[in-house]
């Protein structure tokens, strides 16, 4: 081979080497760029055609504020989730905070903890400022640790469980609107005692999970407060301890009936209460329930069909409108009371928040052409979703600086305002905005408030006590 050919071959080899090195460098640059984009959450808009991008930080971009919500939108308890969802949408969709449009991303969890856990991780990964209006205690039990780990605030969850209120477990990340289950049950117990019912004649029928156990804990604490005998309180202590240790295959006799979540089965729980009555030689004159509307309605039907003269109470979580409809279908007209944590929906209510929510729902139906939105969806759960949405919007709008989680939590700590008749107070370290509790009774016209039944020790119920 001549020198000229050797030189040419050498030059070609050098060129190929430089080309290979260049390809490697470009490939490394591209890989690093991709990692950079993924790591810092950049959102590329329209790819390379526009060359523009929008940075998202904690669910907030230049144009939007993203909120997440996980509810039962399908399944046996879908009415509960869809009613709350509608309230949040009517209150928040399209609202602006510092020129940024609020968007809510809803996910369905079927009221099942494993699904809720999965959907929580999905929403956090997609980028949200906070989680709002999640439904249920068993789902909150698994999602709260995930939210805490990622420092995502949990706002206005539809549950009165102590899990979200216990100072040893709670943190500044949890912001409740509603009164606790303990407060609801305490009102019912005090009313029952005034009517001559003895603590020993109070029994319980609850969902067999953290929601039901929270209800039992509330009943136990209420009985302690009214000075019930230690033996009576002890029955609940023993039962709760038994459930906590999960002693499978063993049963314990107590004034408690259980049912499995998301099932229609009521007979086993009913039989437990009848066995208690027979063994103890007493009658359950008041049965406090902690369940969902569909199962509680079936339980009430069975109890009345069997000739029991029980007064049965339901927590607000059961959804008054859906419970009423089921009871009407079963022909049940009395002996049912229910606590509420929002203002009542009287047609002539002069509370601004009630009027506003009703008017906004009507406008929403017209604007969105929502054929599926019916007039009867103006109900207690819708109103709770609306109040939670308005409360959150007000807090976001009053943040003096940048919209982020840190500043949101700082604003929470100084938030005290009136929402059309419902006072919101989250100052002095409070993690629960309202203490409103009302007792209603079933009548042929629906649930109506019992005279004088309200609880508002922090003056959260103002202007009108209906």
Residues 53-65: tens digit of each pLDDT? 467 899 999 999 9
Among 38-42, 210-214, 379-383, which stretch is predicted with the lowest mean pLDDT? Answer: 38-42
Token pair for 296: 């509680």
Sorted by where each starts, the structural domains of the chain and their CATH numbers stand as 3-55 (no CATH), 64-179+346-434 (3.40.50.2300), 181-340 (3.40.50.2300)
pTM: 0.84
Higher pLDDT, 82 or 166: 82
Rounded Cα gap, residues 186 and 350, in angstroms: 28
pLDDT tens track for 95-118: 999 999 999 999 999 999 999 999
Higher pLDDT, 326 or 366: 326
Write down the mean pLDDT value for the chain: 86
CB 341 within 8 A of CB 388: no
Show the 3-state SS of the chain: CCHHHHHHHHHHHHHHHHHHHHHHHHHHHHHHHHHHHHHCCEEEECHHHHCEEEECECCECCCEEEEEEEECCCCCCHHHHHHHHHHHHHHHCCCEECCEEEEEEEEECCCCHHHHHHHHHHHHHHCCCEEECCECHHHHHHHHHHHHHCCCCEECCECCCHHHCCCCCCCCCEEECCCCHHHHHHHHHHHHHHCCCCHHHEEEEEECCHHHHHHHHHHHHHHHHCCCCHHHHHHHHHHHHHHHCCCCCCCCCCCEEEECCCCCCCHHHHHHHHHHHHHHCCCCCEEEEECCHHHHHHHHHHHHHCCCCCEEEECHHHCHHHHHHHHHHHCCCCCEEEEECCCCCCCCCCCHHHHHHHHHHHHHHHHHCCCCCCHHHCCHHHHHHHHHHHHHHHHHHCCCCCCCHHHHHHHHCCCEEEECCEEEECCCCCCECCCCEEEEEEECCEEEEEEEEEECCCCCECCCCC
| Contact (CB, 8 A) for 215 and 189 | no
Distances (CA, A) of 309 to 258, 287, 299, 418, 449: 20, 10, 13, 42, 21
Q: What band does 445 get if pLDDT is binned at 50, 70 and 90?
A: confident
Least Cα distance to 202 among 187, 188, 182 occurs for: 188
Q: Which residues contact 220 (CB under 8 A, 6 or more apart)?
A: 233, 236, 237, 240
Distance of CA 297 to the CA centre of its chain: 21
What the block records as the tokens of 15 is 């060129």
| pLDDT for 7 | 38
Please, which pLDDT band fits residue 34 given cuts at 50, 70 and 90?
very low
Q: Cα–Cα distance between 2 and 22 in angstroms, integer?
A: 30
In total, the chain counts a number of residues equal to: 466
Question: 121 pLDDT exceeds 70?
Answer: yes
Higher pLDDT, 302 or 249: 302
Residue 295 has pLDDT above 60, yes or no: yes
* CA 162/CA 182 separation, integer angstroms: 8
Q: What is the widest separation between alpha-carbon atoms in the chain?
A: 118
Mean pLDDT computed over 299-315: 97
Other C-beta atoms closer than 10 Å to the C-beta of 6 total 10
Higher pLDDT, 348 or 154: 154
> How confident is the model over 389-437, as pLDDT tens digits?
999 999 999 999 999 999 999 999 999 999 999 999 999 999 999 999 9
pLDDT at residue 459 tops 80? no
- What pLDDT is attached to residue 369? 57
């Amino acid at each position: 081979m001549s020198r000229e050919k050797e030189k040419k071959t050498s030059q070609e080899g050098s060129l190929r080497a430089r080309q290979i090195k260049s390809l490697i460098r470009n490939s490394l640059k591209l890989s690093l760029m991709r990692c950079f984009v993924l790591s810092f959450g950049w959102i590329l808009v329209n790819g390379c055609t526009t060359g523009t991008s929008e940075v998202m930080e904690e669910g907030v971009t230049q144009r939007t504020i993203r909120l997440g919500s996980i509810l039962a939108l399908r399944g046996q308890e879908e009415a509960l989730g869809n009613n709350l969802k509608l309230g949040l949408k009517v209150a928040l969709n399209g609202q602006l905070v510092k020129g940024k449009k609020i968007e809510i991303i809803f996910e369905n969890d079927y009221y099942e903890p494993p699904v809720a856990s999965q959907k929580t991780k999905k929403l956090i990964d997609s980028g949200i400022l906070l989680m709002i209006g999640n439904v249920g205690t068993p789902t909150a039990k698994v999602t709260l640790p995930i939210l805490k780990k990622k420092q995502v605030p949990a706002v206005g969850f539809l549950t009165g469980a102590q899990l979200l209120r216990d100072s040893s477990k709670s943190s500044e990340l949890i912001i409740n609107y509603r009164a606790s289950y303990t407060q609801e049950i305490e009102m019912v117990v005090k009313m029952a005692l005034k009517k001559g019912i003895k603590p020993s004649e109070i029994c319980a029928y609850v969902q067999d999970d953290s929601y039901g156990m929270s209800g039992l804990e509330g009943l136990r604490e209420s009985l302690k407060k009214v000075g019930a005998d230690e033996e009576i309180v002890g029955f609940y202590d023993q039962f709760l301890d038994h459930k906590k240790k999960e002693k499978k295959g063993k049963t314990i006799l107590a004034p408690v009936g259980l049912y499995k979540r998301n099932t229609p089965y009521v007979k086993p729980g009913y039989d437990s209460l009848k066995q208690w009555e027979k063994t103890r030689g007493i009658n359950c004159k008041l049965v406090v329930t902690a369940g969902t509307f569909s199962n509680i309605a079936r339980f009430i039907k069975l109890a009345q069909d069997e000739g029991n003269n029980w007064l049965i109470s339901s927590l607000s979580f059961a959804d008054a409108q859906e419970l009423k409809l089921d009871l009407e279908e079963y022909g049940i007209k009395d002996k049912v009371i229910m606590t509420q944590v929002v203002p009542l929906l009287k047609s002539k209510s002069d509370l601004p928040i009630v009027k506003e929510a009703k008017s906004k729902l009507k406008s929403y139906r017209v604007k969105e052409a929502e054929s599926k939105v019916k007039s009867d969806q103006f109900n207690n759960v819708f109103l709770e979703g609306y109040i939670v949405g308005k409360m959150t919007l007000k807090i976001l709008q009053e943040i003096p600086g940048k919209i982020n989680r840190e500043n949101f939590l700082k604003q929470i700590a100084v938030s005290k305002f009136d929402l059309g008749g419902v006072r919101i107070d989250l100052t002095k370290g409070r993690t629960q905005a309202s203490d409103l509790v009302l007792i209603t009774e079933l009548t042929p016209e629906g649930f109506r408030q019992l005279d004088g039944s309200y609880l508002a020790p922090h003056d959260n119920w103002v202007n009108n006590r209906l």
